[in-house]
Amino acid sequence: MREIIRVRPVSYHADGGNIGYIRISSFNEQTTDELKKAIVDISKQIPSENLAGYVIDLRNNPGGLLDQAVSVSRTFMARGEIVSTRGRRPEETQRFAARGGDLTKGKPLIVLINGGSASASEIVAGALHDHNRATLVGTRSFGKGSVQTIIPLGSGNGAMRLTTARYYTPSGRSIQALGISPDIVVPQEQAKVLDASKQDNQQTSESQLKGILSNDSMTDAEKKQYIAEQKAAADEAKLRGSDFQLAYAVDLLKGLAVANATATAPAPTSAPAADAAPAPAN
């Protein structure tokens, strides 16, 4: 007997110490439960005050179950319509809405999409986009926005598939054949990344000069931080070479984190004005 192998629909990791990366590869019965586990686990790895946000990767996700697309959207949305299905008659319209449970607590979201993102993936991307809950990065999605019903034939030897309705995003846009357009178009191009030796030939830092005065005052903690920063820089260079779209999304989240920190930082106190000098006597 052949063994049934179940492919996990969600994979994740903490990227760079302050970004949660979640890849959703399909929408099956386990997707929402796996997604919630991923968010909880990432929140344990990264304290809330350090968490810059999440990258939700829906690239090359062909879709799946409608109810899972709705429940995944509810995981990131507190309120609002998620999707509607509309048939030929008004009474056939169905609407699905969020129920007030944003598990990410409003943290910034970057959603990656491409031409392989279809159906349920487009429902999630469209809902998060229309409610300004996420920034979409990548290329236009596939455009599979039709609801199909399978009707068995009377002979029992076959069935007929009919398109009975279409999916619409909260703003009223049809997904069918149009797809979802990203906010920021980023083609997946292979970036040319120099290896460490070539980088050394291109750029020279103070520490690489001969006879340089060494920094004997560095503590063990500072040395550890320096090594960690060097490793992070190398990892980012590799990421740009292997996945330019993801690297862009990570940079975007980091930029948002810096902007938010700057906006909320207290204004520096100005020094008291010096007393005016007395006017010279005539």
Provide the annotated active-site residues. Answer: 119, 130, 144
Q: Which residue has the tokens 């609407």?
A: 95
Token readout for 23 is: 């890849």
Look up residue 58 and give its two tokens: 């829906």
Edge-to-edge strands, sheet with 184-185: 10-15, 19-24, 53-57, 109-113, 135-138, 184-185
Nearest to 168 by CA among 109, 93, 62, 78: 93
Closest CA to 23 of 45, 7, 46: 7
Distance from C-alpha of 21 to C-alpha of 68, rounded to nearest angstrom = 19
Rg (CA), the chain: 26
First to last CA, the chain: 111
Please say whether the beta carbons of 122 and 144 come within 8 A. Answer: yes
Rounded Cα gap, residues 83 and 35, in angstroms = 20
- 51, 107 contact by CB (below 8 A): yes
